Amino acid sequence: MFKNEELEINLGPQHPSTHGVLRVKLRLDGETIVKCTPIVGYLHRGVEKICENKTFFQGQVWTDRMDYVAAVSNNLGWAESVEKLFGIHVPRRAHYVRTMMTELNRISSHLLWLGTHALDIGAMTVFLYAFREREQILDCFESFCGARLTTTAFRIGGLREDIPPGFIKQVQAFQDRFLDCIDEYETLLTENRIWKRRTIGIAPINADECIAFGVTGPVLRAAGVKYDVRKAFPYAAYAEMNFEIPTRTEADTYARYLVRLEEFRQSHHIIQQCIDGLPEGNVMAKIPKVLKSEVNEIYHPIEAPKGELGYYLVGEKGGQNPYRFHVRGPSFVNLQALPQMTEGRLLADVIAAIGTLDVVLGEVDR
């Protein structure tokens, strides 16, 4: 009467644990996954093609909308890659403010990850605690550039305006209480036996497989590879900053959790150095009103909260817009490792695996 046959089910695209419109086609044998196929493209907007038809100034607003929880990082990547294409030198103060904002954004992105990942696995409380601090960071963004999510924070050549009065005080108020907040998350999760059961040994991927898939960011660092674009190819003011790259060797979900928690502390440390060493001076380089490129091509990687975010720009002679624009999105590349992490394991681990990869579907689909 009962036959042993494989069952094919869809996880998503409307599943709350897939963090957006990710559809995962799963072939199940009982509760074990035989085959896992992530299907992307439900949120495709053609950002690369749109940006090829916009000027270099206008293209920035589309980078906000790729990885919408880390919009400032995306803005930084766009601004720096266009500056690299045109050879524009940005004032030192602008570099410091950019570094500070990007690190705040890294904290806010990791906080959203921590809250939703814990919520998916079953720890409801952390979500509320994480969003409490995220709110404070978003308030900082609002006073800096006027928007909370789609920031359009920087401009090509520096910043639009200098930081508003009272901004340093606002960031310092966040800095003063954030270390205690990390301890609170640790109290709630790190030693918790339910959290440990759900994360230790779940969704492993070792260093060789990570490199083969091109996986970057905290997932790679949790596998023991000490690779961080901030150290490997320093941009903005990171060359002057003093920080560590946290690594673990376990390469499971729990190790990635610990790596990201340590990144909170390192980001906190970098922001403090930016506040203390903020140089005086202007924040905008002199740039022409119309940017006309030469025949040139650049690739500029930055360390987004999810991993290596690279922008590839090709300029044509006299062109006001990029001839070719390509994004190497960390979420998209990291998602390709999902079958490797889940095949042969249990259905419930897929949720943990999607959570620990920290994908944002706006960037996967673009």
Partner 1 sequence: MSILKKLLPLDIASGMKLTGKYFGRNFLQANRSKKHIHITVEYPETPISIAPRFRGRLQMLRDEQGEIKCVCCLACEKICPTQVITISKGKKEGRKTPFPTRYDFEMERCIFCEFCVESCGFDSIILNHQFELAAYNREDFSIGMEGQFQDMFRVSPVGQHSISSTKNPDSPDYT
Residue closer to partner 1 (CB basis): 57 or 312: 57
Are the C-beta atoms of 261 and 106 separated by less than 8 Å? no
- Residue 327 Cβ vs partner 1, minimum distance, rounded to whole Å: 17
Please tell me whether the peptide bond between 13 and the residue prior to it is cis, using omega within 30 degrees of 0: yes
Sign of dihedral through CA atoms 262, 265, 270, 273?
negative
The dihedral formed by the CA atoms of 128, 105, 268 and 221, expressed in degrees to the nearest 10 = 90
Residue closer to partner 1 (CB basis): 126 or 215: 126
SS3 call for 116? helix
Q: How many helices (H) and strands (E) does the chain have?
A: 15, 8
Residue closer to partner 1 (CB basis): 189 or 338: 189
Residue closer to partner 1 (CB basis): 81 or 334: 81
**Residues sharing a CB contact under 8 Å with residue 193, sequence separation 6 or more, in sequence order:** none
Residue closer to partner 1 (CB basis): 189 or 236: 189
- Residue 85 Cβ vs partner 1, minimum distance, rounded to whole Å: 19
Q: 68: closest CA among 309, 361, 268, 288?
A: 361
User: Which residues contact partner 1 by CB under 8 A?
Assistant: 54, 57-59, 61-62, 125, 132, 135, 139, 142-147, 150, 152, 160-161, 164, 184, 187-189, 191-194
E strands along the chain, which residues?
7-11, 23-29, 32-39, 154-155, 158-159, 296-304, 307-315, 324-328
Residue closer to partner 1 (CB basis): 179 or 194: 194
SS3 call for 295? coil
- Residue 211 Cβ vs partner 1, minimum distance, rounded to whole Å: 35
- Residue 244 Cβ vs partner 1, minimum distance, rounded to whole Å: 27
Are the C-beta atoms of 86 and 236 separated by less than 8 Å? no
- Residue 319 Cβ vs partner 1, minimum distance, rounded to whole Å: 16
- Residue 157 Cβ vs partner 1, minimum distance, rounded to whole Å: 13
- Residue 143 Cβ vs partner 1, minimum distance, rounded to whole Å: 4
What is the Cα–Cα distance from 237 to 295, expressed in whole angstroms? 28
Residue closer to partner 1 (CB basis): 121 or 220: 121
